Homo-oligomer: A and B are copies of this chain.
Amino acid sequence: MSEDLGVTKKRSEDFGQWYLEVVRKGNFIDQRSPIKGFDVILPWGYSIWEQIQEKFNKLIKKEGVQNCYFPLLIPERLLKKEEEHMKGFKSETMMVTEAGGEKLDEKYAIRPTSETIMYYMFSLWIRSYKDLPFKVNQWCNVVRYDTKVTKPFIRGREFLWSEGHTAHATKEDADKFVEKAVEMYSEIYKALAIEPLLLVRPKSDTFAGADYSVVFDTLLQDGKVAQGPGTHMLGQHFSKAFNIQYLDGKGKKNHVWQTSWGITTRQIGILIMHHGDDNGAILPPEMSPVQAVVVPILFKGKEQIVAEKAREFCDRLEKSGIRTYLDDRDYSAGFKFNEWELRGVPVRIEIGPKDVENKEVVAVKRTNGEKVKIKADNAGAVKNILNDVQEEMMKKSRKMLADSIHDAKDMSELKNAARKGGFIRTNWCGAEKCEKNLKADSGGFEIRGTLYGKGEKVFADCVQCGKPAKHVVYVAKAY
């Protein structure tokens, strides 16, 4: 994998190119697979996914969600059972039509999401109120044959995800689980040091077959936004289509209420475009697969003692629970510095002959390049730096989001604000026509939704038609 590590573009020059170089050269993802949009997730990128998996598994298991695995393929007839759902995915579905050189009797869709196949099984399993709430999750690959294949991680045709699905006896219980899922994803966002904008999507952009969708819209440094995790209240649409009923305590049959929710490998791209700088990615300590990389700086005649002390310090860090990597590869120290900066490891530890003499090491913060001398027996100091960095990144993210939100009372203010990117807060009458016109008039800015969890008072008439507004909405340009 020996390649040139330099990122040739600054974010301000060409954000897209900067991102492409960071993810490729930083060992996150490779787009050169033989099928467009089916990218190879490289080891460093995958290890971030493993961090997300580990943390999220802990959260869901505490809530009694059980992992399991459902089939990759879905018979076309099942997909068609919930009409709205089918419509939502039809244009993106890849179909298997042959096996062993023979044509199949029936076409199978590669899952774009698993509601239909899962709920077919739910209808076999759920019988009584004692079976509820029923909570499962699967980690798997899904395929959506998107016509736009622009950015690796952000928009690909195959991605990995966790999809959680629950069934409840009552609407209230299902609504509550939506809140719970949002809470769990908020924990993940905290670990990612990202402040999201929690929105309820307008009907036009609600998940196919859902009553409402709550999403983590995330601001990127180019002023555009990307959707992170989504949580969907499915109501009884699917339970009616798939006949998922339970007997209540009085012997009466009822349809269950359902939720589904997901987080995907897209999150890795969001992370990079949210936090990165011109030297590459910057990973928050809580999520970085390696929290501290130790680089021995070897000078002739001093190699052995430096290597030894580097190993010692490494062991010390590991013992105090820090994910550490000793980079003793046969490359120059400069090459290693660049590579770990590109990958975004939050703290680099340098140890040279001078440091050995002084019984010190040098810790370098990825966020700002700040160097701190640390006593060679003081692993706690590195822990403190990691905690500080996590907090600083979170603070910065909060400010970035707050600073990006601008109010607009009319289209002229909206167009003005649109030049700066970020979110525009405005008022909407609720008509789909105004939603469409707004997007056309603003050069692609779209209504992303209303604030989740708290109503906001409209502060002007509908930004499009001038009639009384019903909702305060957030508008942005999205990936």
Contacts and interface: CB of A to CB of B under 8 A. Distances in A.
Contacts of A91: 100-101
B117 A70 contact: no
A371 to B, nearest CB: 29
Interface string A54-79: 00000000000011111111110010
A127 B2 contact: yes
A96 interface: yes
Counting contact residues on chain A (CB < 8 A from B), the size range is 35 or more
Contact of A41 (B34, B69, B74, B93): B69
This protein's copies in its complex: 2
Interface in A154-188: 158, 160
A68 B127 CA distance: 40
A40 B99 contact: no
A381 B67 CA distance: 31
Contacts of A405: none
A240 to B, nearest CB: 18
A452 interface: no
A432 interface: no
Contact of A40 (B34, B69, B126): B69
B40 A67 contact: no
A35 B330 CA distance: 52
A297 interface: no
Interface stretch (A137-145, A190-198, A252-260, A355-363): A137-145
Contacts of A354: none
A32 B121 contact: yes
A98 interface: yes
Contact of A71 (B38, B71, B101): B38
Nearest 7 A/B pairs, CB to CB: A43-B66, A38-B71, A41-B69, A95-B98, A99-B145, A94-B99, A91-B100
18 contacts: A1-B126, A2-B131, A33-B70, A33-B71, A34-B75, A34-B117, A35-B108, A45-B68, A72-B158, A73-B94, A73-B158, A92-B100, A93-B100, A95-B97, A95-B99, A96-B97, A100-B147, A141-B141
